[in-house]
Structure 1
Amino acid sequence: MPRRMLVALMCLAPALALAQQPPTKITDGYLVDPTGMALYTFDLDGNTKSQCNADCARAWPPLTAEANAKPWADYAPFARADGSYQWAYKGKPLYRYARDQSAADRTGDGAGNQWRLARP
């Protein structure tokens, strides 16, 4: 293999590895975003359909996806009513909670008896 091609492949490998990473991690048995903040699901949501818009989405910010994001294992991006994209895990849209201030916070779990920590 020519040296240039080998160097090009070595440079491309980290980018390909990052492209295949899930949009979340698992910490203490629940899903967290890339910064370690807890993620939640909303009982009223349908399969890759968010019912949380406007004021709700300000309190429960969606885990956003890029418009060109591709499904990965149990994760799938979907279009929201406002045209933005959000990640879903096993069909359930994922959200953060605006009142969570640190990665240790899980204050949204059980809110309104409709919000749950997202679990794998």
Structure 2
Amino acid sequence: MPRTCRVAAAVLSLAALSALSAACGADPGPSAPPAAESARPASAPASASGSPGTNSFATAVGTQVSLASVGSLGPILVDAQGRSLYLFGADTSVHGSCLDECAKTWPPVTTPGFPLAGPGVDDGLLGAAALPDGTAQVLYKGHPLYRYAGDRGPGEAAGHTVANPQGGTFYAVTSLGDPVGVDISTLHGPGAAAGVPSGAATAGPGATADPSAGAPAGGTAPSAAGTAPSVPSVPTPPSVPAAPSAPAAVQPPDASGSGVDDGTGAGADTGAGGATGDDGTQDG
């Protein structure tokens, strides 16, 4: 994101935070009539004047974050004075959770304006988020940054891997925004996405978590097309019994009495009254 856009986002975020605080402290007044509300354009921009704090953040020079080699840890994040900076493993959003008693030992790295990238630091990973007292804490890759009261000066990193009594451990930070020597997924569980705390995509004070992060873990998106119902198999028609074969033809008996047919079509006549007539002669 270009620096101008990030600064604008930071200004609008602080303006929204200041407006919300003022609204909470003011006495509730009568609500505006519906007609007056509908007359206001939905896309009306925020007031350009803002609050004095908002204007000062936009114009003030921010805290510088640089990279320096410290002991056996190698290159880690430091401030402009060379003091080591740390991330807190218990932080799960851009808003630091080390407050009150914890902050006495681990004071947050605050900034009067948008933080500046020193040598070896990626400007695109810098950001800021509002603290409860209204100041802005420096972010790197979405991680709120802290100093350690036990470090006596530049070149020390005694706070690396120091555990907080209330839970969580502090780590020195690499130029990539990861804890030195530790897999970031082990800090927030195997489901941590690239080690970036929730809401880290918004660079600027008052950044909030992405609403899409509320989706249930491990949820599976519904299929665009439903599964087609199975087609029932067609029942096999019952077998038709074979038709009975016709009986063999029976030769009818010879009604002429001419004898038995020898198969040539001429029957043998056995009667006495053959075609030859009487054997006697007739006398005239």
Shorter-chain TM-score bucket reads 0.7 to 0.9
Answer yes or no: is the 8 Å Cα contact 2:89–2:169 preserved in 1: yes
Answer yes or no: is the 8 Å Cα contact 2:86–2:172 preserved in 1: yes
**Structure 1 residues 97, 75: closer, same or farther in 2, change over 3 A?**
same
**Structure 1 residues 94, 70: closer, same or farther in 2, change over 3 A?**
closer
Match of 1:98 in 2: 149
Note the C-alpha offset of 1:26. Answer: 0.3
Match of 1:53 in 2: 99
Match of 2:169 in 1: 114
Answer yes or no: is the 8 Å Cα contact 2:63–2:79 preserved in 1: no
Q: Which has the higher strand share?
A: 1
Note the C-alpha offset of 1:46. Answer: 2.1
- Structure 1 residue ranges, 4+ long, deviating more than 3 angstroms after superposition: none
Q: Is the aligned partner of 1:32 residue 2:78? A: yes
Note the C-alpha offset of 1:90. Answer: 0.3
Q: Root-mean-square deviation (CA), in Å? A: 2.0
Answer yes or no: is the 8 Å Cα contact 1:22–1:75 preserved in 2: no
Q: Under a length normalisation based on structure 1, what TM-score does the superposition of the two structures give?
A: 0.75
Match of 2:267 in 1: none
Answer yes or no: is the 8 Å Cα contact 1:87–1:93 preserved in 2: yes
1:27-49: CA deviation from partner (whole Å, max 9, x where unpaired): 01100011000000000112311
CA distance in 2, matches of 1:70, 1:95: 14
**For the pair shown, which has the larger CA radius of gyration, 1 or 2?**
2
Q: Under a length normalisation based on structure 2, what TM-score does the superposition of the two structures give?
A: 0.33
Counterpart residue type for residue 86 of structure 1? Q
For structure 2, the 5+ residue unaligned runs are 1-60, 70-74, 117-122, 176-284
Match of 1:14 in 2: none
Counterpart residue type for residue 62 of structure 1? P
Match of 1:77 in 2: 128
Note the C-alpha offset of 1:22. Answer: 7.3
Note the C-alpha offset of 1:69. Answer: 2.4
For structure 1, the 5+ residue unaligned runs are 1-18
Aligned length: 100
Note the C-alpha offset of 1:101. Answer: 0.4
Q: 1:86 aligns with which of 137, 140, 143?
A: 137
Match of 1:11 in 2: none
Larger displacement relative to structure 2 (27-36 or 107-116)? 107-116
CA distance in 2, matches of 1:47, 1:103: 28
